Structure 1
Amino acid sequence: MLLSNYLGMRERYRYFERHNIPFVPVSKWTPLGHLKQLLFLRISFGDWFKNIYADPRISGSKLAGFFVFQTPALMLRDPELMRLVLIKQFNSFLNRYEAADAQHDAMGALTLPLAKYQQWRESRWSMSQLFTSGRMKQRMYPLLQQVLQDLELHLERRMAGQTARVLPLSEMCQLYTTDVTGQLFYSWNVGGLRLGHSPLRHQAKQLFAPHWRKVLDFMCIFFLPQWTRLLRAKVFSKSYMNYMRQLVQQPRGEQTQADLIAQLQQLQRSRPSKHYTQHSDFIASQAAIILLAGFETSSALLGFTLYELAKQPVLQQRLRRELQSAFGASGTLSYEQATTLPYLKMVCLEALRLYPAAAFINRECTADCSLQPHHDFVIPAGMPAYISILGLQRDEQFWPKPLLFDPERFAPEHLHSIEPMTYIPFGAGPHGCIGSRLGLLQLKLGVAHILRSHRVEICGETVPEIRFNPKTFMLESLDELYLRFCRDSN
């Protein structure tokens, strides 16, 4: 029996050798493929995919093979191949590989990231109406100003009358992003920054709290989607699902007619023939995923940006001079200023290079696709193709001194030197992040309003380098980030 299993795995693991594709070798004795470190939570998702991308044994290759358990998977390493999969041949890569079981986990299966193409197309169209330029300027920006005022007052309270104080970043950043989510998408003035605690933050933290069943469910959904029904894997916990159902069912007044919930209610009314939009959990599913997307990525990114600026006081001072000039005596930035301040934009784009909102992405091949003229291989239907955005954006082939935080990379005179498809922090193509512009705006404003009257410095409690948490899906620091906040004298 043991010999039979070994011979079977050995034959499966010869897949890329038979097809003359470079690959990362794997032990013939393990049924886990290359997943061992990841499954035992010894490495973060971002680092794991980056390590495969950067494996010296596949250096110079446009693509390479590896194994998700015993399923052959591709790691794309060439920008033109990435463009082909994400954009040019989108009709052959309609879905992400991960999936939830629609029968036992309807709320998970209905979410925008996990919905299959027909459902995804309808939901994407409706939700994209929330992120138009006009809507961001006319409706979202005034609401953001309310949260930003709370952010400044929160920081003042944390300073407790002192001119300098060491503070942790995670709580403040998380309260900021969950307050933004509540205001913009649920028409709910959560008040987390004012009160020091937030029910939205609490729900998100509870969902991400490590637990063996959550780990099993997530690994199944992401790497063994065909087993989700058998294992009854669920994206959200029962308590989180119930919370979101109650949230979207709350009475809604006239002032809420333009938020996420109202937009999806309109979709239900305009698409009565679409069975999935009429599902009782359809609106709750989208509301649930919006909170998680903002909680984990946006809050961590704000902390990473402040951390990098604290390590380089000369860059920080240049940014603060720009901000002080722009703020003037008003204490606020106009929408046009927030979107066009040049050095603020450069700083935030560089932060997104080092810490992309999506550390990796994947696509499932839904129809056999030739890689000609880039490679003599036809990707078979069902095979997943991965892109390590973290690896790509830290690749010295495309980014000299890739670990150095250098906003000058995005100076107008240097933009022409950035090779297309080597900077995709929110993904690319039709499946690219729907909220990318809002995410960038939220980051800019958070940085601007924190640094308007304070500078940040490293201190004895500041970690020398960021290690990514192996127990979270997106990029998050394993260690709390502490910085010294110094208030400007009036």
Structure 2
Amino acid sequence: MGLQLFLVTAIAVLVAYLIHKWRRNLQYWKNLEIPCDKPHFLFGNLTGVATRRSFNDIWSEYYAKYRGTGPFAGFFWFYRPAVFVLDTSLAKLILIKEFNKFTDRGFYHNEEDDPLSGHLFTLDGPKWRTMRHKLSSTFTSGKMKYMFPTIVKVGHEFIDVFGQSVDKEEIVEVKDLLCRFTTDVIGTCAFGIECSSLKDPNAEFRVMGGRSMTEQRHGPLGVAFLSSFPNLSRRLHLKLTAQPIEDFFLRIVRETVAFREENHIRRNDFMDQLIDLKNNQSLKSETGETVSLTIEEMAAQAFVFFAAGFETSSTTMGFALYELAQHQDIQDRAREECREVLRRHNDTLSYESMTELVYLDQIIAETLRLYTVLPVLNRECVEDFTVPDNPKYVIKKGMPVLIPCSAIHRDERFYPNPEVFNPDNFSADRVKERDSVEWLPFGDGPRNCIGMRFGQMQTRIGLALLIKDFKFSVCDKTTIPMEYNKKHYLVASESGIFLQVKRVQ
């Protein structure tokens, strides 16, 4: 009995200690007298996410509530105390000037057990630096020029399929067709596979691509645990990627690499660049080790290229058409520009002529301002950092940092009438006057989006071909104001984007 009593007492003391430590942790910002909402004991300041509120709702509401109270507000990323940036000058320090103190994103990854999680977006420290160095040459303007004709070819097929849909029914749900377009583009450029999702909405690549954005291995409690205790989760060999998604993308990459190498096929696409990196034994890490890519690393990079490229670009194009349907004068001006540029280049959309679509670029930039697909930038502090001239505000090593770029984009201090769609916000004169950190759809600094050029290229091509041949208008099924998907980490419409579409002569 004595031993049993001792064990029970020891367990009770341990539980009491853990509860005390947990509660004390949740008092972190309060004890420092830094503004912070009272956190939920498990979900921190993310309560209601995916049910009552979207992630973007949380960032926007928090920014509106605490803006002006200091350089940052306290926040709880699940159990972990985090920094919620309120000042663009601090954002600039984090992203650019003091980047070496904020190199990591802090997302859970476990490449040993969960190979698809070991991609450029989630990797930290030396692994990120090495991978970024490996991949930087694959997204140069020269490589984009190689891929351009492939995207245009898919674009023309897209216009044919889109036209067939319009001929059947003038009310079109554009989001799905746009997703199928970007799926075929990424599938072709990243994997060298004719996905055929434009012709067949149920094509395997389209289905698995959609599942990769929505299907998770764990529910909310599991995600909270992984996010709160990433090191423990790795020791427990916990995975994040759903098994069918992992199996599919690993199989596709293995088959593609084997087929190309056995048959000596080159397509000058992203997969060719990855194969070159796999076979390049001259690449060295900072420690002098050979760092050629493994098949698993190749699959991870191809996976994130696909997941990031098809979703963000199709969403941006969908929101652009949604706004153009409500602003016919802007749409007419964009159409005239597209037709004029094509006339000057023998009705051919070339890599060079694309740079002349200045107003279309302004439309895309303004769309990304109003509908910032990735509404927050995540960083993690790698060494203690005191905000200049604010000794009370210290960002501790290991602390998550949140930069709410979507909320910044709708701040009237940076954009007059911020809720109004106005491409003139991105005229050359206004861009010149604006600090770079006041427009962050692709991030900024050394860890900005490596695929920015590619994403902008396929978005320009898709929109130019659409606007040239079709007129978009609102209809009874168009949701105004826009309703957003609460379950998605990215900004996305709740139930598609329905527009009336007619051919123009």
Normalised TM-score (structure 2): 0.88
2:197 aligned with 1:192: yes
Matches within 5 A, 1:88-487: 88-108=97-117, 110-137=118-145, 139-160=146-167, 165-209=170-214, 213=218, 215-229=220-234, 232-250=237-255, 251-252=259-260, 253-256=263-266, 258-268=268-278, 269-270=280-281, 271=283, 274=289, 279-328=294-343, 330-373=346-389, 376-487=392-503
Quote the Cα distance in structure 2 between the aligned partners of 1:473 and 1:220.
Answer: 17
Q: What is the CA-CA distance between 1:374 and the residue it aligns to?
A: 5.5
Distance verdict in 2 for CA 1:242–1:434, change over 3 Å: same
Deviations 1:345-400 (A, max 9, x none): 11111011112242111111111122223554332111111101111111122112
Distance verdict in 2 for CA 1:469–1:279, change over 3 Å: same
Quote the Cα distance in structure 1 between the aligned partners of 2:228 and 2:77.
Answer: 6
Q: What is the CA-CA distance between 1:462 and the residue it aligns to?
A: 0.3
Distance verdict in 2 for CA 1:210–1:264, change over 3 Å: closer
Match of 1:51 among 61, 64, 70: 61
Q: What is the CA-CA distance between 1:327 and the residue it aligns to?
A: 2.0
Q: Which residue of 1 aligns with 2:95?
A: 86
Q: Which residue of 2 aligns with 1:36?
A: 47
CA contact (8 A) 2:77 2:228 kept: yes
Secondary structure of the equivalent of 1:119?
Answer: helix
Q: Which has the larger radius of gyration?
A: 2
Q: What is the CA-CA distance between 1:90 and the residue it aligns to?
A: 1.4
CA contact (8 A) 2:485 2:493 kept: yes
Q: What is the CA-CA distance between 1:85 and the residue it aligns to?
A: 0.8
Q: What is the CA-CA distance between 1:479 and the residue it aligns to?
A: 1.8
Distance verdict in 2 for CA 1:8–1:207, change over 3 Å: same
| Amino acid in structure 1 at the alignment position of 2:138 | L
Distance verdict in 2 for CA 1:66–1:265, change over 3 Å: same
CA contact (8 A) 2:174 2:496 kept: yes
Distance verdict in 2 for CA 1:8–1:120, change over 3 Å: closer
Q: Which residue of 1 aligns with 2:5?
A: none
Q: What is the CA-CA distance between 1:174 and the residue it aligns to?
A: 0.6
Q: Which residue of 2 aligns with 1:76?
A: 85
| Amino acid in structure 2 at the alignment position of 1:116 | D
Deviates more, 1:118-127 or 1:345-354: 118-127
Deviations 1:49-101 (A, max 9, x none): 2222222x454422111112332110111111111111111111121111223
Normalised TM-score (structure 1): 0.91
CA contact (8 A) 1:150 1:194 kept: no
Distance verdict in 2 for CA 1:3–1:227, change over 3 Å: closer
Distance verdict in 2 for CA 1:94–1:413, change over 3 Å: closer
Q: What is the CA-CA distance between 1:224 and the residue it aligns to?
A: 4.1
Q: What is the CA-CA distance between 1:196 and the residue it aligns to?
A: 4.3
Distance verdict in 2 for CA 1:483–1:280, change over 3 Å: same
How well do the aligned residues superpose, as a CA RMSD in angstroms?
2.5
- Which ranges of structure 2 fall in alignment gaps of 5 or more residues? 1-11
Deviates more, 1:187-196 or 1:124-133: 187-196
CA contact (8 A) 2:176 2:496 kept: no
CA contact (8 A) 1:95 1:117 kept: yes
Distance verdict in 2 for CA 1:9–1:220, change over 3 Å: closer
| Amino acid in structure 1 at the alignment position of 2:38 | V
Deviates more, 1:186-195 or 1:294-303: 186-195
Identity in percent: 28
Secondary structure of the equivalent of 1:459?
Answer: coil
Q: What is the CA-CA distance between 1:274 and the residue it aligns to?
A: 4.8
Distance verdict in 2 for CA 1:75–1:485, change over 3 Å: same
Deviations 1:214-251 (A, max 9, x none): 55554444454234336654332212212112211220
Secondary structure of the equivalent of 2:59?
Answer: helix
Secondary structure of the equivalent of 2:378?
Answer: strand
